[in-house]
């Protein structure tokens, strides 16, 4: 779920407490321990919870059905106070406040957000504008454990896209479990391959240019590594 391959998840242990604590250590996860249907419905509505934690000890088969029905029928509230509460949770968890986050200037922010969501499995944390194609936007996206921003270029603020400049001054490094699969998905959605995925200096690494002119290295360290650390900016 942290890599954007699923929208929700269920975790469980004997009491449910340990599973919920562990799940909430994963960036982007808001896990709720629910012992009844009302709690599950409230967690989805008011907290936009995306991971359901259950107790194997106290959850009967009948109760499980009630909880699951309430959970999957629930929708996050769009009321401003509730959205502010969710953003506050994100800040506490650190998923939305990494020390440094890159902002990518593009010519078509609406299309760029769609590309990053489809190609990289990114999850949108925040958006201003961009309600329809052609409308400028600023969007915060999360891929794995890190976040980055996408915004329509604004020459009046000296923000230019690579397409305007004829190149960029930085490239992005996206760390994923399966670099080959992610790179293939990006190529299928319009990216251009700069370098195929191959072993290089202790990494399995490839490189693409996305449809908006930004270069991405897609890879992971060879051998053991902690999954879920994605989308780190580095100098080109």
Active site members: 13
CA 24 to centroid of chain Cα atoms:
15
Phi then psi for 29, rounded to 5 degrees?
Answer: -90, 135
Cα distances from 63 to residues 7, 26, 35, 45, 230, in angstroms, run 23, 27, 8, 20, 37
Cα distances from 71 to residues 36, 39, 48, 54, in angstroms, run 10, 9, 11, 12
Phi then psi for 187, rounded to 5 degrees?
Answer: -65, -35
List the one residue out of 15, 14, 75, 6 whose CA is nearest residue 40: 75
């Amino acid at each position: 779920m942290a890599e954007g391959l699923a929208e929700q998840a269920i975790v469980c242990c004997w009491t449910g407490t340990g599973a919920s604590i562990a799940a909430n250590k994963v960036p982007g996860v808001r896990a709720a321990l629910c012992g009844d249907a009302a709690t599950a419905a409230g967690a989805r509505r008011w907290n936009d919870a995306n991971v359901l934690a259950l107790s194997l000890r106290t959850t009967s088969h009948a109760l499980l059905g009630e909880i699951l029905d309430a959970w999957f029928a629930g929708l996050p509230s769009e009321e401003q106070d509730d959205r502010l509460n969710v953003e506050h949770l994100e800040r506490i968890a650190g998923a939305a406040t990494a020390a440094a986050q890159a902002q990518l200037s593009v010519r078509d922010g609406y299309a760029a957000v769609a590309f990053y969501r489809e190609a990289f499995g990114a999850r949108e944390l925040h958006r201003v504008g961009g309600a329809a194609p052609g409308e400028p936007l600023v969007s915060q996206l999360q891929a794995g454990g890190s976040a980055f921003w996408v915004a329509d270029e604004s020459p009046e603020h000296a923000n230019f896209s690579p397409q305007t400049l004829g190149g960029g001054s930085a490239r992005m490094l996206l760390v994923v479990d399966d670099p080959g699969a992610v790179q293939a998905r990006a190529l299928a959605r319009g990216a251009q391959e700069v370098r195929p995925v191959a072993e290089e200096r202790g990494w399995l690494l490839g490189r693409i240019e996305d449809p908006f002119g930004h270069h991405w290295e897609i890879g992971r360290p060879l051998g053991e590594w902690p999954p879920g650390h994605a989308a780190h900016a580095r100098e080109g």
